[in-house]
Amino acid sequence: MENRPLEYDYTVAKMFMVTTIVLGIVGMSIGVFIAFELAFPWLNTILGPDLAEYTNFSRLRPLHTDAVAFGFTVSGIFATWFYVGQRVLKVSMAESKFLMFIGKLQFWLYVIGVTAVVISLFMGYTTSKEYAEFEWPIDIAIVVVWVLWGVSIFGLIGIRREKSLYISVWYYIATFLGVAMLYLFNNMEVPTYFASGGIGDVMHSVSMYAGTNDALVQWWYGHNAVAFVFTVPIIAMIYYFLPKESGQAIYSYKLSLLSFWGLMFVYLWAGGHHLLFSTVPDWMQTMGSIFSVVLILPSWGSAINMLLTMKGEWQQVAASPLIKFMVLASTFYMFSTLEGPIQAIKSVNAIAHFTDWIVGHVHDGTLGWVGFMIIAALYHMAPRVFKRELYSKSLMASQFWIQTLGIVLYFTSMWIAGITQGMMWRAHDEFGNLAYSFIDTVDVLHPYYALRGTGGLLYLVGFFMFAYNIYKTMSARPVEESELQNASPMGA
Amino acid sequence: MDINELAAYGYFFLIVFLVVGSYSYIYHLYTKKKDSSGVDYEHYSNMALDDDIDSTPVKPISDEKEK
């Protein structure tokens, strides 16, 4: 043991890779199911009227969003941190028993927290705040998990050999601080059982904010959850994995620094666009719109930096499915960060608000950018952490095309559905009477809902191919002792 | 001047300050090209490209240790 050279220790990274895949399957399967529920309503009572409580859309929808955001994505963030963090700081987790213990503790508490979330949401316990549905005991558990992650981040930074922090580490730190601030403030809640001296359910709580203030805090949180869960940590990943996989230095490190500060400054002000035409002050709505449009600059700064990193090396995109995943991810990042600001313009929002176009926007960001980047990161990590060659390159290429087709079907159907909805809702005759009733729109939208379900199903099929590929990789016989270098085996 | 007016002025000047600050930062990055310790910013990309546990750090935490 003493004679073995020091190596990076990926124990915790591997544990979180497993939850990334498992929770990805759970969250996406529920997503596909509820997508078909919208197209074919009888699915809401598929297990009979007695169990309808557990199978209807409204009970399952938070399970879908929370499982993909806080299960799949957050696991992916943790998994990549415990891989990237060690490498760019040039320090191994094996060097600190304390950090190793904290990492494992964080993992097991996370698993307990996720289990509690799934069970409580299934049972119908919810605060009814979107993406913040967890009741107060679970919120406390989540805060503990998050603090442990902070100990891991700053602990590893504390024992590092590399003095400067690589740009990805900046983004991971921003994720940690951003989510901590947002989560604490939005989940300030009063447990009613204790506040009232023993009346009602122990699990139940009410928000500390009321009315419009509650909405403002909720969407300050909600939109920045998109910022600090779906954007910032994913940029951290692509700034490490794309240069590493392609062997190319970042096109402009300086651009990465200034788009970091741009993103940090602008993103926090954009949440007001969720409350356009609502009861919040008008200037705040305008500010939300303006900052959303300005947000294009730092977002495209990062995305263009990524695409230009491939300058002169585009043959790699054709040759390697892994590079394809990442290049398409940054393309979808550009795409959804242009689409979002367009939707945040007041006159566009007058048509887009509450329609399926918003759902389409979220999904081209999450499926194309977040999903593809996490998949690519795990594909890059798998041969290195399991010390085995990746099981199948052709399976990976097929997965890429199947999932890409799925995403295209998803967002195109939602564009058409959303704009159709928006136009039908506001259509009126010469006397101002509405031209359509709500059910007219539902009739028209049916084919697009079926198409959306099919798109989601294709993405899920691709995800199962991914899970199988990783499973076969980790269970194969080890092929080489030494760590694989720069390019992946499929790059050749 | 009531609190709302004060907040509005504060907000306006905060924006002006941040705009000036970020453009100065851009100007600084692209004219100086190197940070205070003399390392070209672009060299920091090597932190990802050359990241084996025994690779030489771009900027070691302690110069004495490396010598």
Q: Compare B62 and A423 and report the one with higher pLDDT.
A: A423
CA atoms within a 13 Å half-sphere pointing along the CA-CB vector of A179: 28
Which amino acid, A209? Y
Mean pLDDT of A194-218: 93
Residue at token pair 């952490």: A385
Is residue B63 very low, low, confident or very high in pLDDT (cuts 50, 70, 90)?
low
Mean pLDDT of A395-409: 97
pLDDT the model gives residue B67: 42
Is residue B66 very low, low, confident or very high in pLDDT (cuts 50, 70, 90)?
very low
**Which numeric CATH code is attached to A11-476?**
1.20.210.10
Mean pLDDT of A469-477: 91
Helices then strands, each counted (H, E), chain B? 3, 0
CA distance A93 to A85: 10
pLDDT tens digits, A101-130:
999 999 999 999 999 999 999 999 999 999
Mean pLDDT of A436-459: 96
Res A37 pLDDT > 90: yes
Cβ(B45)–Cβ(A250) under 8 Å? yes
Would you list the domain boundaries of chain A? 11-476
CA-based nearest distance A165→chain B, Å = 9
The mean-pLDDT minimum among A376-380, A479-483, B43-47 falls in A479-483
CA-based nearest distance B55→chain A, Å = 8
| DSSP strand pairing (A189-191 vs A205-207) | antiparallel
CA of A243: which chain B residue's CA is closest?
B49
E-strand ranges in A182-334 read 189-191, 205-207
pLDDT tens digits, A140-184:
999 999 999 999 999 999 999 999 999 999 999 999 999 999 999
pLDDT the model gives residue B8: 87
**Which residues from chain A sit within 8 angstroms of residue B53, using beta carbons?**
6-8, 90-92
Mean pLDDT of A205-215: 93
Reported for A424-433, long-range contacts at CB under 8 A and 24+ positions apart, including other chains, are A425/A355, A426/A350, A426/A351
Cβ(A173)–Cβ(A153) under 8 Å? yes
- Residue % of chain A over a pLDDT of 90: 93
For the beta carbon of residue A66, count every other beta carbon within 10 angstroms.
23
pLDDT tens digits, A264-284:
989 988 999 999 999 998 988
Token reading at A461: 């099929």
Note whether A4 contacts B: Cβ–Cβ < 8 A.
Answer: no
CA distance A79 to A380: 12
Interface probe, candidates B49, B52, B65, chain A, greatest A C-beta count within 10 A: B49
pLDDT tens digits, A54-107:
999 999 999 999 999 999 999 999 999 999 999 999 999 999 999 999 999 999
- Residue % of chain A over a pLDDT of 70: 96
CA distance A297 to B19: 13
In this complex, do B29 and A6 lie within 8 Å of one another by their Cβ atoms?
Answer: no
CB-based contacts of A124, cutoff 8 Å, min separation 6: A53, A59
pLDDT the model gives residue A2: 56
Measured at the alpha carbon of residue A102, what is the angle toward residues A96 and A106, in degrees to the nearest 5?
150
pLDDT the model gives residue A485: 56
Is residue A492 very low, low, confident or very high in pLDDT (cuts 50, 70, 90)?
very low
Token reading at A404: 């890409």
Q: How many beta-carbon pairs under 8 angstroms link A with B?
A: 79
Q: Which of A10, A174, A145, A162 is nearest to A83 (CA)?
A: A10
Is residue A490 very low, low, confident or very high in pLDDT (cuts 50, 70, 90)?
low
pLDDT the model gives residue A428: 95
Note whether B44 contacts A: Cβ–Cβ < 8 A.
Answer: yes
Residue at token pair 């390697």: A320
Which is it for the CA torsion A409, A410, A416, A421, positive or negative? positive
For the beta carbon of residue A125, count every other beta carbon within 10 angstroms.
19
Counting every residue, how long is chain B? 67
Note whether B48 contacts A: Cβ–Cβ < 8 A.
Answer: yes
Q: Which of A85, A163, A192 is nearest to B65 (CA)?
A: A163
Res A396 pLDDT > 60: yes
